Homo-oligomer: A and B are copies of this chain.
Amino acid sequence: MISVLAGGVGAARLLQGLVQVVNPKDVIVIANTADDVILHGLHVSPDIDTLTYTLAGVNNKETGWGREDETWLAMDSLKDLGRETWFRLGDRDLATHMYRTGRIAEGAGLAEVTAEISASFGLEMCFLPMTEDSVQTKVTLADGSEVGFQEYFVKLAHNVPISKIRLEGIGRSQPGPGVLDAIDQADVLVIAPSNPFASIDPILAIPGIESTVRSHRQKTVAISPIVGGTAIKGPAHRMFKELGHESSVVGVAHHYRNLASTLVIDKIDAELANAVEDEGLRCVVTETVMRDTKIAAALAKTALETVL
């Protein structure tokens, strides 16, 4: 059984590869929900949705988020009503949030609802929200103001310097159903090449999760989201720098040194392998830029083989 700590796009690509080399039924995905947001009364889970849509093959390849074959009548009409619509919810995509919101209103937990949605999309792997509690990533901008993660990520296009990340509600949050077991019982625990600060750290920060991961350091392998000093997508490289770290695979190694026994880095960073190992992790060098599913499958296989 393989468990994966996951954010959105980078994790989704890795999982597309992973299901080529292991049975999807043997995969448990522990997904970040600290980006979740209530918009217009609807519960939106951006990372879970990206994972679900991508694995189901219905993700929007043009936008990089949302569903394919999408239309925007609701958003256009909402804009006519004078509402902010920088977080674009397509008409098809809306159904997912309406389903989630309706089921939660009926008393279902986020884990149950997430399982229902992924099953409805025909997926066999198991998606677990990191928590069913409300945890909200808040970002302090360089000017001192604090904004919600989606405002930083989407509205501001993560194109502004930040000085701090805070996880509102984290102290009283609990791991979601099945999460600790999934970490405990996995043969391999993979930290996906997701944003360490915005996607992986929120998972780890839920009371009980980081200590459980640490106790399984030997079976844990991380894949660097930083390649050649930058992120394939998103602001991870900026965050490393702006939060006082080194934006390189060495910075990633330092960040994960107590959690993972192995870090997989890209060939472009091969010369930094020794520096990674100086952080106390085994370093494996391979192709990590997942241009297609074949590369993703090879990367997943390489990651698993560091442990199995």
Contacts and interface: CB of A to CB of B under 8 A. Distances in A.
Interface of A: 38-43, 67, 70-71, 73-78, 80-83, 90-96, 98-99, 101-102, 104-105, 116-117, 120
Given A41-B102, A42-B41, A101-B41, A95 B71 contact: no
A74 B101 contact: no
Nearest to A69: B73
Closest 8 CB pairs of A and B: A41-B101, A77-B95, A40-B98, A73-B91, A40-B102, A78-B95, A91-B91, A74-B94
Nearest to A104: B41
28 contacts: A39-B102, A40-B98, A40-B99, A40-B102, A41-B41, A41-B42, A41-B102, A41-B104, A41-B105, A42-B98, A42-B101, A70-B73, A73-B73, A73-B95, A74-B91, A74-B98, A76-B92, A76-B95, A77-B91, A77-B93, A81-B95, A81-B96, A81-B116, A81-B120, A83-B99, A91-B91, A91-B94, A94-B94
Query: Taking chain A's interface residues, is the majority helix, strand, or loop, or is none over half, making it mixed?
Result: helix
A280 to B, nearest CB: 46
A98 to B, nearest CB: 4
A95 B80 contact: yes
A254 B78 CA distance: 44
Contacts of A120: 80-82
Contacts of A96: 77, 81
A207 B70 CA distance: 47
Contacts of A74: 74, 91-92, 94-95, 98
A75 B38 CA distance: 20
Given A71-B73, A83-B99, 17 more contacts: A40-B99, A40-B101, A40-B102, A41-B104, A71-B71, A73-B92, A74-B92, A75-B95, A76-B95, A77-B91, A77-B94, A81-B96, A81-B99, A81-B117, A83-B95, A91-B91, A91-B94
B105 A78 contact: no
Given A41-B42, A105-B41, A99 B78 contact: yes
A182 B161 CA distance: 53
A167 to B, nearest CB: 22
A304 B91 CA distance: 44
Nearest to A71: B73
Nearest to A83: B99
A93 B90 CA distance: 14
A83 B71 contact: no
A96 B40 CA distance: 10
